[in-house]
């Protein structure tokens, strides 16, 4: 069964460094999302992406964040200058608009640790 994949599974970085989290959505999906989950807390929406542009973003998604679909398969989240409070699990999700369920399929996540 097709699934969303994410790399790396765990990223450790120093405060102030740039990180890029990578996702490969399910191949025929057209809508892409990033969510984050701080340890022990709920999953929070960051951004949605469709037709090569951001369709919606949350207050969390400030100028330090950016997303890109650099080719036909990858979807990336970049954090320009990481802060301690960026430590969290980051989940990518994708959606096939052809499915009536409109289900967002989640990847396994990347654990980002900022030291």
Partner 1 sequence: GQQLNQSPQSMFIQEGEDVSMNCTSSSIFNTWLWYKQDPGEGPVLLIALYKAGELTSNGRLTAQFGITRKDSFLNISASIPSDVGIYFCAGRGGTSYGKLTFGQGTILTVHP
Q: Is 31 in the site for partner 1 (CB under 8 A)?
A: yes
Q: Is 95 in the site for partner 1 (CB under 8 A)?
A: yes
CB-nearer residue toward partner 1: 58 or 64: 58
CB 38 within 8 Å of CB 32: no
Distance CA(37)–CA(92), nearest Å, equals 11
Q: How far is CA 94 from the centre of its chain?
A: 10
Q: Is 7 in the site for partner 1 (CB under 8 A)?
A: no
Site map 39..78 versus partner 1, x via CB under 8 A: --xxxxx--x-x----xx-xx-------------------
Backbone phi, then psi, for 84, in 5-degree steps?
-55, -40
The answer to whether the peptide bond before residue 8 is cis (omega within 30 degrees of 0) is yes
DSSP state at residue 75? E
User: Which residues here bind partner 1, judged by CB under 8 A?
Assistant: 4, 31, 33, 35, 41-45, 48, 50, 55-56, 58-59, 91, 93, 95, 97, 101-109
């Amino acid at each position: 069964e097709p699934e969303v994949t994410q790399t790396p599974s765990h990223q450790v970085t120093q405060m102030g460094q740039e990180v890029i989290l990578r996702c490969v959505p399910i191949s025929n999906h057209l809508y892409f999302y990033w969510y984050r989950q701080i340890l022990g807390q709920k999953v929070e929406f960051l951004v949605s992406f469709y037709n090569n542009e951001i369709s919606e973003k949350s207050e969390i998604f400030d100028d330090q964040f950016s997303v890109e679909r650099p080719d036909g398969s990858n979807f990336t989240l970049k954090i320009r200058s990481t802060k301690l409070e960026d430590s969290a699990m980051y989940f990518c999700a994708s959606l096939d608009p052809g499915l009536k369920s409109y289900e967002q399929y989640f990847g396994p996540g990347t654990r980002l640790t900022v030291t």
